[in-house]
Structure 1
Amino acid sequence: MNIVVLMKQVPDTYAERKLDPADNTLDRAGADAVINEIDEYAIEEGLRLKEAHGGEVTILTMGPERATESIRKALSMGADKGVHVVDEALHGSCVITTAKVLAKALGTLDYDLVIGGVEATDSRLSVLPALLAEATGLPQLTGARKVSVEGSDVTIERVTDTGYDVVRASTPAVLSVVEKINDPRYPSFKGIMAAKSKPVTTLGLADLGLSADEVGLAAATSAVRSFEPAPPRAAGVVVKDDGNGGAAIAEFLASKKLI
């Protein structure tokens, strides 16, 4: 079974994240870059399926040059190879364009399953797996807390507000997983050393049959028009209960239009 795992490099959630005033896009150079947290669960699930059914795991990412660091970490966890879509013209691409580019990259690969995290911590859109399924014409199995494969059939338990649904499809298919699905492994020293020699293929727009005017900020379907830094946190209001505490709290909440 050949598995492609979608991985995104994002700013560390523990760092202060800012927008670049030059073009209102995320300032990726201003914070440490890490693998998107939920994508680590996707990598782990891909590795477990490989261990159970054989085959190989390919890491696919679209991002700047420094995303190579995260690809190597994924390879040190046990993935076999990487594919890095990188081109300066991709800067500022929206999620719809990203799905289009990744679909083109998938067209260069042989795969049975595509696995990704349910969302990215830098955007919180939770739509890329569905958009990618639409762009490739593949069935989508999203929000999986459990995945099982039998022959050419893949079955998931999809998380819902009241429990889970059982969803089944034939491969090839696109999956997205939630953090409840597993516990990602840590890279071993042996894995870190082996990752240095594993192949990483670099693809540009020309390799995918795309032009610069189809991607990037100018072609984006959404954009940040303006922003301003959040104001410093003000001191809280202390209400002393001298017999009218409840009324004072109600008045405060009403002044904030909360009640």
Structure 2
Amino acid sequence: MRTRTGRAVLVATLLLLTGGCSMLPGMPAPVPTDVVPTDLPQQTPTSSGNLSPDGFDAAQRMAVRIRNIGCGTLSTGSGFALDDHTLVTNRHVVSDSSTLQLSTYDGRDITAAAASTAALADLAVVRTDDALPAAPELAEADPALGDLVTVVGYPLGRALTVTTGHVLASQTDPLNANLGAVLVTDAPVEHGSSGSAVLDSEGRVVGVVYAKDLNGHSFVVPVSTLRSMLDDEASFTPTAPCSG
């Protein structure tokens, strides 16, 4: 990104893919065929990635699938529990929503009470009426370059998926210039992976997936940013249901 043109191309690419990380085509009757209704049984992932058996069990219990039913649109994303009644995801996963449908790895539906989004970073928190199965520990520090990480989420709104990769770089966020540094990894993600937790080998959250590029690199809000924003209640603003 040595030239202004290069930066513009990168930003345009990421903007396209960030939106595509969750958005699906307009909703036909009754729903798009590549969205799995919440009442279908979940599939068991075939890999535990970089996690121990105990760490994998905890990871799948805290992961949440999100369906955003908007005004004439339907999108899917991922999230993870922060505590018994709070989950973390991306701003673009919950924006322009009429109804949020949440479900857990074992097919249990969770009722969403309210959502709030951050202006600075692509982050959001959702409060739930029902208790979430489990919450992970947030790491004290961001992962180092070269560290192995695991992404746990629901690509395409389907089965829980675990992928692994390495932290490749730390760079200024091309989508939110005021945010500061974000992490770049080669852990595979797909549409619907937005909001997935990024875990270290001990199952601690070290970041949140929010975008990918055309080279298959995933972009991650680091846990240091997540922690600082969670510590400041003014960072998040309640969302209003879409209209029309």
Provide TM-score, normalisation by structure 2. 0.27
Q: Compare CA radii of gyration and give the structure with the larger one.
A: 1
Higher helix share goes to which structure? 1
Structure 1 length normalisation: TM-score? 0.26
Give 1 or 2: higher strand fraction: 2
